[in-house]
């Protein structure tokens, strides 16, 4: 009688959980961003909104929410704080007043220059090359998309 040589791995331990590695890496990433963003007066979620707007200004709130996977209940208070900080302006859409458009203010546009080194600083802190990080990003995007299809 042959013995089964496959080691038995208990997948219900914390150190074997993919979700925990992803979660703890996310926490470490956010912690790395925090002091860099504090220097320019942004939180991490605000930085993500600014990235969207620096790429394309004058965007509907619903489109920002879709890009960032945030619902309006989370996004609206965030945008109100950004408007109070004079980084963005919220206006009703001319074609559909139910929709709200977000545009950068001059101060918001100028902040892009102050943030330009943040991606490089984070990459250096990770100890990974740009190529490795882009491969991981692609893999994580695929995992997110596959998981989203099942929800």
C-alpha atoms less than 13 angstroms from C-alpha of 81 in its C-beta half-sphere: 12
- ∠ CA(11), CA(148), CA(128), 5° rounding? 65
pLDDT tens column, 34-47? 999 999 999 999 99
pLDDT tens column, 85-132? 999 999 998 888 899 999 999 999 999 999 999 999 999 999 999 999
- C-beta of residue 99 within 8 angstroms of C-beta of residue 93: yes
**Residue 113 is encoded by which pair of tokens?**
């220059």
Count of CB atoms situated within 10 Å of the CB of 107: 12
In this structure, whether the domain defined by 30-116 belongs to CATH 1.20.1070.10 is answered with no
**Residue 1 is encoded by which pair of tokens?**
């009688």
DSSP summary character for residue 108 = H
pTM for this entry: 0.87
pLDDT of residue 89: 97
């Amino acid at each position: 009688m042959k013995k089964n040589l496959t080691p038995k791995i208990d997948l219900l331990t914390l150190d074997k959980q993919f979700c925990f590695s992803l979660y703890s890496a996310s926490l470490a990433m956010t912690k790395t961003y925090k002091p860099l963003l504090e220097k320019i007066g942004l939180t991490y979620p605000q930085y993500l909104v600014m990235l969207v707007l620096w790429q394309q200004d004058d965007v509907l709130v619903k489109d920002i929410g879709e890009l960032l996977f945030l619902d309006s209940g989370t996004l609206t208070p965030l945008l109100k704080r950004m408007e109070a900080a004079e980084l963005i302006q919220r206006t009703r859409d001319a074609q559909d007043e139910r929709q709200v458009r977000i545009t950068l203010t001059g101060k918001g546009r100028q902040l892009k220059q102050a943030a330009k080194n943040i991606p490089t600083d984070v990459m250096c802190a990770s100890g990974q090359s740009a190529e490795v990080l882009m491969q991981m990003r692609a893999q994580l995007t695929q995992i997110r998309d596959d998981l989203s299809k099942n929800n």
